[in-house]
Structure 1
Amino acid sequence: MGTLEGKTAVVTGGGTRGIGRATAVRLAAEGAHVFITGRRTAELDEAAEVIGSAVTAVPGDITDPADLDRLYALVRERGQGLDVLFANAATASFATLERITEEDLDRVFDVNVKGTLRTVQKALPLLNHGAAVILNASTAAEHGAPAFGAYAASKAAVRSFARTWANELKDRGIRVNAVSPGPIDTSGITELAELAGEQDDTAFKANLGAGVAIGRMGRPEEVAAAVAFLASADSSYLIGTNLYVDGGENQI
């Protein structure tokens, strides 16, 4: 018996080859039926094939309220409510203060802030008593790395959401927490290297890993394990917290 046996979970950004997919795999392994959503249909289908019968893939964009309505309509049809919500979908930008554009700001805040808010807000009628909501924040919110201004600010907002929503939903027995990954080796890091003008992401990743106390980048599965913990009764006394999965980057 897994820690989430018989539970229903939603993972946004669940098709990407990174934290979302690794978390969906882990939650399913713990016994949950997992609804995954994302914009890339091919990646969603691939993730569904990996996970098997314990997953329902629903193409959609968290910036589109109609797509979220369609996702939650399918969860409602299952008839068991919602026990775990991992608001994971996000995007990033790489631009300094002098170069950041209105388009950069809109894109990052529409997904990371507005999209996260709508993802949780529209789930409210489905969340069961004792449900767990986990928001994907980031260590970037705290260390002021150059050219990460918009992304860092958006993730600081996500961290703030976790505190406020934990207070607002505690009377329903719903626990809201955040997880803050450090540098994690995902396809998103490769895309970030391209934005930074790096021709070879190997050196870019090595540099990121060198700045972490543990001496390497993290693996998506390590973040997934933290999310699974926050989703389970094992974390029953955690509410409004921010769990760092950063190899000591922001701790030492």
Structure 2
Amino acid sequence: MQFKNKVVLITGGSSGLGFAIAEVFVSQGADVIITGRRQPQLDEAVSRLGGNVSAVRTDISSPAELADMYTHISAVHGRIDVLIANAGMGEVEPLGAITEAGFDRVFATNVKGTTFTVQGALPLMGEGSSIVIIGSTSSINPGPGMSVYGATKAALRAMVRSWILDIKGSGVRINLLSPGPVDTPSLRDVLGENAQQVIDVFNEKSTLGRIGQAHEIGQAALFLASDASSYINGAELFADGGASQV
């Protein structure tokens, strides 16, 4: 699980899970590229991460911006060894209050954006390369108000199962990493004043008695991206303390 001189692209890498995943790859000597929509947050993340890290401001819901990003990466690095397709979003909209705008935003980022992120990366990836798509346990248990978000993550699972057939023989692996609740500032922001009460419920559901920490998801991503998982392809790894298994 060494990544020295490996080129690793992490979308949505300026905060939350993406940032934690970037930290893990930096610690293993990788040349890391992070993306995000906000330049100030990207600049701060690059400063905090240290190591061989660069940033490209990109909104993955825009195929044109993705194309520009890959042109830049090709010119600077010439290849991508690992793609962590992490960028995503969610909105709480229960049935009866689902809006067309909210529906379109979530699908544009999580499904369309991820699709064209993967498709655009493939020409820069060779045999032995790895793609890890960050899903969610919401694909099987979305909870109230999260039907649209859960649907996007379920769509990714279906896509991965097809994509590994589409690129059969290329030597590029694609796997899905689906975290459960992870204690990040963004989760607490979404939960608001009831954050700790809801987290206590999540802790109870976990067979380990706690929700995840961001660096643990980073370690799982590292495994799926590494040669240690060289015969794992098209799989969905749930990193949720066993909650989805009982």
Distance 2:143 2:77 in 1: 45
- Cα 1:200–1:145 shift into 2, 3 Å: closer
What does residue range 1-252 of structure 1 map to in structure 2 within 5 Å? 3-16=2-15, 18-194=16-192, 199-252=193-246
Superposition deviation, residue 200 in structure 1? 4.2
Distance 1:70 1:24 in 2: 22
Superposition deviation, residue 59 in structure 1? 1.3
Task: Give a deviation string over 1:96-152, Cα, whole Å, max 9, x none.
Answer: 111111111101100100000011111121112211001011111112412110000
Superposition deviation, residue 191 in structure 1? 3.1
Secondary structure at 1:239 match in 2:
coil
Alignment TM-score, normalising by the size of structure 2: 0.95
Task: Give a deviation string over 1:54-113, Cα, whole Å, max 9, x none.
Answer: 111111210112221222122111244111000000100112111111111101100100
Answer yes or no: is the 8 Å Cα contact 1:23–1:225 preserved in 2: yes
Distance 1:202 1:142 in 2: 24
Distance 2:240 2:111 in 1: 22
Structure 1 unaligned residues grouped into runs of 5+: none
Number of residue pairs aligned between Structure 1 and Structure 2: 246
Q: Which amino acid aligns with 2:210?
A: R
Answer yes or no: is the 8 Å Cα contact 2:11–2:18 preserved in 1: yes
Q: Which amino acid aligns with 2:9?
A: V
Q: Which moved more, 1:87-96 or 1:70-79?
A: 70-79
Alignment TM-score, normalising by the size of structure 1: 0.93
Answer yes or no: is the 8 Å Cα contact 1:167–1:240 preserved in 2: no
Distance 2:59 2:188 in 1: 22
Secondary structure at 1:43 match in 2:
helix
Distance 1:61 1:95 in 2: 23
Q: Which amino acid aligns with 1:243?
A: L
Q: Which amino acid aligns with 1:130?
A: G
Q: Which amino acid aligns with 1:244?
A: F
Answer yes or no: is the 8 Å Cα contact 1:8–1:80 preserved in 2: no
Structure 2 unaligned residues grouped into runs of 5+: none
